[in-house]
Each structure stands twice: as structure tokens, then as C-alpha cells.
Amino acid sequence: MLSPVERNLHLLSLVQLLGGLASVLTVPRYEKSLETIHDFAQSPYRWGDPAIAWILAIVDAESVSISYYLENSKKHNSNLLQVDLKTVVKKFDNIPDVEQLYQRSLPGDFGIGIEFLTCQKINVGPYIREDNVHLFELPKEMLYYSYTTVASQRGWPIMDRLSHFILVVNQHGLVLHWEKRNLRRFQTTRLEVALDPAVSGCQKDVEVQALTVEHIFGPMFILFVGAASATGTFVLEIVWHSLWLSVGKWKQNG
């Protein structure tokens, strides 16, 4: 019979072996990318940002990408867009603390609002860093777009000059220059490179494959080696125990 210490050692070895095999044989589940507003509305994921203005801007957005709803207008009712937008708003979490938002994004089940600039680059906050940028994927359909507006009193005498200034700034590319300068100042080159696949749409979905013998050949080989080693050790223990008993009897008879 095995002593309690030996039983505990055998149990510990068995648990370690089974735990290691379970971690190796675990097959990750990949889901389809969320490419449209409707896809996100139907998903269980939530999203957030430090500023609540992301929600307020949806109400006053100049345009909402409705390609999906136009293509499926015969299959769905006319209120599908409003229903999806309401769902998106309900899924929004306002997290003012940047570090808390960063920690919330690490599990990979949380979306973050980002700003797509005129220069075709992405402006992200300090909560998206080099160690979690790979967890995000840019959908093909934007939620909305809107311009920064200037409010003034009616009859403001220099409104025409302000409008002319905005026109000149856009025509001469000053907006693009300011956006790129802001990116160079506040965004690292490595982070920009990591964001490029998402901007260009070059990210490829991981193909879901059926589990074959090739996928489990390595773990099964490890299982065979472990079982063989355990069996050999068990046989050696029996032989050694038998020899020890024989020597003990021989000493007693001698």
C-alpha cells in the first residue's frame, strides 16, 4: 500500500498532467467579425469611452451609415435602424478614468470609441496602448460622422469671415497638417504601425478549421510519453518493493 505522502504525490502528478493536456487541447472559439452596426447591436459586447459626447453625437449626427439597412429593407421593418441605434446607446458605458477603461479592455470583450480623422488615420486615447491594440478590430461600417461646429449669436458681423477662414483652411490642407502633427506628437510610431492593418482593412479573420489528427498529434504524443514514463516508474516501484521485501525476509531467515 502507498503511504499518504506517496498518494498525494501521485495525485499531484496526475492533476498536473491532466491540467497540462487540457490547456494544450483547448480549442479557441472564433466568431465572425462585427462589421456593421447591426452586427454589434446583436452581439453581447458593450463599448465605452471617457466622454459621454459619443452618445450625444449620435442624436445630432449628419449621417449614419445605412448601407446594411438599404440592402435589407425588404427583409426588415423600417424601424430597424432606430432599434439598433437605441441598442448601441444602451450598451455604452461612460468610464471617465483612463486607467480603468484600459483595464476593462484587456479581456477582449469590450469596444472603445475612436476618431477617424480626415487624413485617414485613427486618433486613439491613452487607454489604447501597444499591449492591447491587437485586441481591437475596426468595423467596415462607421457608426456616424460629424463635423465640429461653431455656435454664434444670430447676426454676428464677422460670420462671413469665419466661414471664409474655414474654407481656406480646408482647401490648403491645414487640417490634414494639424491632424498629422497631433498624431506625431501624442502617438508613438509603433502604435501607429499596429493600427495600420485596422485602418487599411488588411486584418484577416482567423479561419475556423475542423479538428483533425494533426492538431492533437503533439498533445497525444505528450500523453503517450507521460503514460509510458508513469507505467515504467510504477513497474520499477513494484520491483524495488519486491526486492526490498525479499532482502528483509532473507535477513530475518539468515
CB 132 within 8 A of CB 102: yes
Q: In the chain, where are the structural domains located?
A: 37-146+188-200
What are the pLDDT digits (tens) for 93-137?
889 999 999 999 888 889 888 888 888 888 888 888 888 888 888
The alpha carbon torsion through 147, 152, 154, 155 (nearest 10 deg) reads: -110
The DSSP call for residue 172 is T
What are the pLDDT digits (tens) for 173-222?
898 999 889 888 888 888 888 887 766 665 555 555 666 777 677 777 87
Q: Which percentage of the chain shows pLDDT scores above 70?
A: 71
pLDDT of amino acid 154? 84
Instruction: Find the DSSP H helices in 72-173.
Output: 80-90, 98-105, 159-171
pLDDT of amino acid 1? 47
pLDDT at residue 231 tops 80: yes
